[in-house]
Amino acid sequence: MGTERLAIIGGDAAGMSAASAARRRDPELEVVAFERGLYTSYSACGIPYYVAGLVEGADRLISRSPEDHRANGIDVRTRCEVVAIDLGARRLTVRAACGEESEEPFDQLVVATGAEAVRPPFPGADAIEAAATVGAAERLRAALERGGASAVVVGAGYIGLEMAEAFVDRGLRVTMIEQAPQVMATLDADMATHVQDAAEARGVRVVLGTAVEEIVLDDNGAPVGVRTADETFDADHVVVGVGSKPLVGLAEDAGLEIGDSGALRVDDHQRCPGHDGVFAAGDCAESHHRVLDRPVNIQLGTHANKQGRIAGVNATGGDDRFPGVIGTAVSKICRYEVGRTGISEHEAADAGIEVVSATIKDRTRAGYYPGAGPIWVKLVAEPGSGRLLGGQIVGTEGAAKRIDVLATAVWMGLPAQELALLDLSYAPPFSGVYDPLLIAARAVAKLV
């Protein structure tokens, strides 16, 4: 037996993190990554800012190009789609852009196939490309630069909200249509309402509790409107952001196990159970949720990078453990920053977990310091113990990154009554003398 070979399916965050970690640890190892697109290691999270024009070239979203990776000794094959995995023979079937197929052997395998946008069932939806890749973002921006006066965003999750803002930045009249009765389902309704206020203040028309029935196309197949039961909205441009699902068909066909979340089951070393030397990481894989104590599929670049790195370490004989997630996320929506961690009140209810919660409103800076704005903090805690189970923050500049304090507290199981007296920092440019988190902790501690 000659040199060992690590194959990686997928050239974005998780895949290339795995490749890079393996490369660093074992200079002898052959590392080959197959990516069906043109790009590697790009920031899908940056796409709304590129569409808005805040970021000039799409190449700025790429943190490492195929050439960069090749210079590090990783054999990157772009425009090469893996179409079959034979786990017994340890062999991939790879189809190049020209259509030619080849067999590629491996010793270790990292599956990092990512996720794809959910395509809604209504007529016309097939005509709308998901703005989830660098290429798609370039096509959308080119279309915007060709003109148009109106846009409709279907779905009011954080990507939909970011895209709505990007369209407003470009001077379009924007309508956002959401089937649920609130924006941002990851927040509780009372907190989501502030985000809706921010979008509306920025000029976005927000239509809630309304199903789209059709994307109306012209004779060339280009969108001209979006129809609901009540109304048809003009739409020179349409973006659909109604969620995305892990891309697991290939792995499932090969016999890898799918969890209840619909993503690939992995253990805490990113190993696919029952298949030695086979790993999965990133948007296609499950993560253990430490508060819910069950596997979940949360598609975020931060998890993809960490899990990819761990898969790369463990594929080369290492023993790294991914400790799980607690659902932390942050976003900037118009004038507000939004953060959440742990479980929300409605997630707790869905999971049958009894909680107490409190919401406070305060200011981001001392009242007399220029630029102070509103901040709302909602905390969710376990009755009796007071252990923090989750937090949500909405507010102006400086508000959202405070979520990391709550993430650390939830991670460690800090009781709210202890957080209320914790030695957090204070100076007038950053908060009143009691940080909003301390005030919120005190409020929820009274209820436990």
Rg of the chain over Cα atoms, rounded to whole angstroms, equals 23
Least separation, in Å, of the C-beta of 127 and a second copy?
A: 29
Q: Which of 133, 316, 331, 344 binds a second copy (CB under 8 A)?
A: 331
Identified binder of a second copy from the candidate list 249, 274, 323, 383, rule CB under 8 A: 323
Q: Does 134 bind a second copy (CB under 8 A)?
A: no
Task: Tell me: does residue 150 bind a second copy (CB under 8 A).
Answer: no
Among residues 245, 355, 264, the alpha carbon closest in space to that of 307 is found at 264
CB-CB contact of 202 with 334 (8 Å)? yes
Residue 436 amino acid letter: P
Catalytic residue among 45, 80, 272, 284: 45
CB of 128 to a second copy, least distance (A): 24
Give yes or no: 45 in active site. Answer: yes
- Report the Cα 257 to chain-centroid distance in Å: 23
Q: Min. distance of Cβ 368 from a second copy in angstroms?
A: 4
User: Considering beta carbons, is residue 12 or 26 the nearer one to a second copy?
Assistant: 12
437 in contact with a second copy (CB under 8 A) = yes
What the block records as the tokens of 263 is 């993503």
Q: DSSP labels for 283-300?
A: GGB-EEETTTTEEE----
CB of 360: closest distance to a second copy in angstroms?
A: 16
The helix/strand/coil state of 195 is helix
Of the ranges 83-91, 176-184, 278-286, 434-442, which one interacts with a second copy (CB under 8 A)? 434-442
CB atoms within 10 A of CB 98: 6
How wide is the angle at C-alpha 259 spanned by C-alphas 254 and 265, nearest 5°?
Answer: 65
Q: Which of 39, 167, 376, 411 binds a second copy (CB under 8 A)?
A: 411
87 binds a second copy (CB under 8 A): no
CB of 438: closest distance to a second copy in angstroms?
8
The single residue listed with the structure tokens 């279309």 is 143
For position 170 contacting a second copy by CB under 8 A, the verdict is: no
How far apart are CB 307 and a second copy at their closest, in Å? 10
What separation, in Å, do the N-terminal and C-terminal C-alpha atoms of the chain show?
63
Among 182, 297, 305, 396, which residue sits at the site for a second copy (rule: CB under 8 A)?
Answer: 305
Whose Cβ is closer to a second copy: residue 275's or residue 363's?
Answer: 363
**Single residue of 67, 103, 350, 404 touching a second copy by CB under 8 A:** 404
Distance separating alpha carbons of residues 107 and 373, to the nearest angstrom: 56
**Is 440 within 8 Å of 377 (Cβ atoms)?**
yes
Interaction between residue 306 and a second copy (CB under 8 A): yes
Answer yes or no whether residue 45 interacts with a second copy by CB under 8 A: yes
Is 240 or 439 the residue whose CB approaches a second copy more closely? 439
Instruction: Compute the half-sphere exposure of residue 39: CA atoms within 13 Å on the CB side of its CA.
Output: 20
CA distance readout (Å), 120 to 105, 179, 241, 244, 418: 37, 12, 9, 11, 46
Residue whose C-alpha is closest to residue 243's, from 200, 194, 206, 298: 298
Name the site residues for a second copy (rule: CB under 8 A). Answer: 13, 43, 45-46, 49, 54-55, 60-61, 63, 300-303, 305-306, 322-332, 337, 339, 341, 366-370, 397-398, 400-405, 407-409, 411-412, 414, 418-419, 421-430, 433-435, 437
Catalytic residue ranges: 45
